[in-house]
Amino acid sequence: MTYAFDWDFILRVAPRFGVALLTTLQVFLTALAISTSGAVLLALIGRSLPGRTLRWGLATFSWLFRGLPELIVLLFAYLALPQLGLPLPSFWAAVCGLALIGMAYEYEIFRGALNAVPGGQFEAARALGLGRVPLYARVILPQVLRVAVTPYVTFACSSLKRTSVASAVAVPEIMGLSRRFNEAFQKPFELMLIALVLYAALSSLLMVLEHVLDSRLQRGLRAR
């Protein structure tokens, strides 16, 4: 027996996902901006200031937040931090939790990309008298981006889907609205189809961005 989708219901409800789509993008982009900035900073600090204590601290941070389930981190930010005198609105609790997890993964991406740059590049740049900022801006980071862009965008796609757990802390994103509508209308397949299409469209945009960035980086390298 085949299931007959209620297409009229889908057409009626789909426009009401506009606000949820915007909320999902806000959570995703805010968390991604924070996690990327933090991960790049940690990777540069780890490369520029070698030391056993620092290495152990960064490795522990990476191990901890890559190992913890996203839901636990979000619930800690939403429920436990207020007990410590740090109350966060549900939106910022979700952003904080997702950013910490993302930072741990992205730190490994950028750390690996930095390690992939030959040591001779650093020595040659210093021999030419380049300071630290020009060294990284003009020599190192373009090579890091070429290595990191594919795993970074792949992780960003996973981060986008990871925003679905934000509904656990009362953020009205796509999955949260799907659950709420399902409780009211009992149309799980139709609502999951809407969520599937929205997530697939957003992930496709990220993959197109990956292709464009990778093509430009490769053209830039060939032009040198």
Q: Tell me the per-residue pLDDT of 113-159, one tens digit each, with 9 for 90 and over.
A: 888 877 666 677 677 666 667 677 777 777 788 888 888 888 888 88
Contact assessment for residue 162 and residue 98, using Cβ atoms and an 8 Å cutoff: yes
pTM score of the predicted model: 0.83
C-alpha dihedral (79, 85, 89, 94), degrees to nearest 10:
-50
Would you state the pLDDT for residue 172? 78
What domains can you pick out in the chain, each with its CATH number? Answer: 16-223 (1.10.3720.10)
Closest CA to 75 of 212, 168, 192: 168
